[in-house]
């Protein structure tokens, strides 16, 4: 009887321990509500900031510019920064970035040995999208930077400085993975193991800071053996007009589909010929 009483007491104790009081549940819901309010406020603030910027990507560089205007605006942007020897190189909070004069989507229909237009295929993937014009209108800008071997703490400090600089201009990001080791890999492959450090995104615009290891465990073994790097990691910062990018995708997809259809038809015809030849 004594053992039964002890057992019942133990069960009651566990039940009381695990059961949340109405007060604790109310407190949790209150915290969740407060978090939603903060997130909603951040979203509204971000939308307002980008709305005020209009078509401006950064400085005097605007989406929709033709190539000549873009080059002039980029040159004006660099006048306030430390300028490197290359026309599109500049320094920002300790990082040496390389920009480029951009390519036209319509002229990037490069073909591989088998005829597949890889140049257009890569434009569909945002982590491989560089500075591009479509119908001579700028819709994507990419900066690239590489850093030499550094202490882990210094890497995080440098990334934090960069993100803070962008926050002053564009408000709080949707995602902030300044601690790069907690950032998920968005694509795995020989050439790309990209991570998102920070992302600012609205209905029309997107700014992303991408991170990629160039040495160590996060890097593909084949790359490590065949292309050893003096640099520890690289950053890529992308400015994107999402509406114009959608137009570009709609232009590219039928071209790729046509190639696929032609390839399938050719394979069918080859199969018929082979069957008849036997």
**Contact (CB, 8 A) for 186 and 194:** yes
| Percent of the chain surpassing pLDDT 90 | 33
Query: Which tens digit of pLDDT belongs to each residue from 8-35?
Result: 344 333 334 444 555 555 555 554 555 4
259's tokens: 């190639």
Per the CB < 8 A criterion, the answer to whether 77 and 58 are in contact is yes
pLDDT band at 237 (very low <50, low <70, confident <90, very high): very high
List the domain boundaries for the chain: 54-253
Considering only residues 228 and 46, tell me which one the structure prediction assigns the higher pLDDT: 46
pLDDT at 1: 47
Mean pLDDT of the chain: 78
Helices (runs of H) and strands (runs of E) counted in the chain: 7, 13
Provide the pLDDT confidence category of residue 112 given band limits of 50, 70 and 90.
low
Nearest by Cα to 50 from 209, 168, 200, 242 = 200
Confidence of residue 163 (pLDDT cuts 50, 70, 90): very high
- Specify the residue for token string 């030499």: 148
What pLDDT was estimated at residue 67? 95
CA distance 155 to 147: 9
pLDDT in tens, 188-224: 444 456 788 999 999 999 999 988 877 665 555 666 6
**Mean pLDDT computed over 238-260:** 92
Confidence (pLDDT) at 173: 92
Task: For residues 35 and 30, give the distance between their C-alpha atoms in angstroms, rounded to a whole number.
Answer: 9
Residue 47 near residue 204, CB atoms below 8 Å? no
Digit-coded pLDDT (tens) for 82-109: 766 667 889 898 888 999 899 999 887 6
Query: Which structure tokens are listed for 43?
Result: 């979203």
Q: For the segment 29-70, what is each residue's pLDDT rounded down to a tens digit?
A: 554 555 455 556 778 888 899 999 999 999 999 999 999 999
């Amino acid at each position: 009887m004594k053992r039964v009483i002890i057992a019942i007491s133990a069960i009651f104790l566990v039940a009381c321990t695990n059961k949340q009081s109405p007060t604790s549940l109310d407190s949790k819901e209150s915290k969740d509500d407060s978090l939603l309010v903060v997130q909603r406020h951040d979203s509204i603030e971000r939308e307002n900031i980008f709305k005020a910027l209009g078509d401006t990507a950064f400085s005097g560089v605007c989406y929709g510019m033709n190539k000549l205007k873009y080059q002039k605006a980029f040159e004006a942007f660099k006048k306030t920064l430390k300028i490197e020897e290359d026309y599109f190189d500049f320094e920002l909070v300790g990082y040496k970035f390389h920009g480029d004069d951009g390519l036209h989507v319509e002229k990037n229909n490069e073909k591989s040995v088998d005829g597949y237009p890889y140049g257009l295929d890569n434009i569909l993937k945002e982590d491989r999208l560089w500075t591009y014009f479509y119908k001579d209108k700028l819709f994507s800008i990419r900066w690239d930077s590489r850093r030499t071997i550094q202490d882990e703490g210094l890497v995080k400090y440098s990334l934090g400085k960069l993100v803070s600089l962008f926050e002053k201009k564009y408000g709080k990001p949707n995602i902030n993975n300044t601690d790069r080791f907690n950032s998920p890999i968005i694509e795995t492959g020989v050439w790309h193991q990209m991570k998102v450090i920070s992302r600012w995104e609205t209905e029309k615009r997107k700014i992303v800071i991408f991170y990629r290891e160039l040495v160590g465990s996060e890097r593909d073994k084949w790359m490590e053996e065949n292309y050893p790097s003096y640099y520890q990691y690289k950053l890529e910062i992308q400015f994107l007009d999402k509406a114009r990018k959608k137009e570009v995708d709609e232009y590219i997809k039928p071209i790729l589909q046509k190639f696929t259809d032609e390839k399938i038809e050719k394979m069918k015809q080859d199969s018929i010929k082979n069957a008849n030849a036997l």
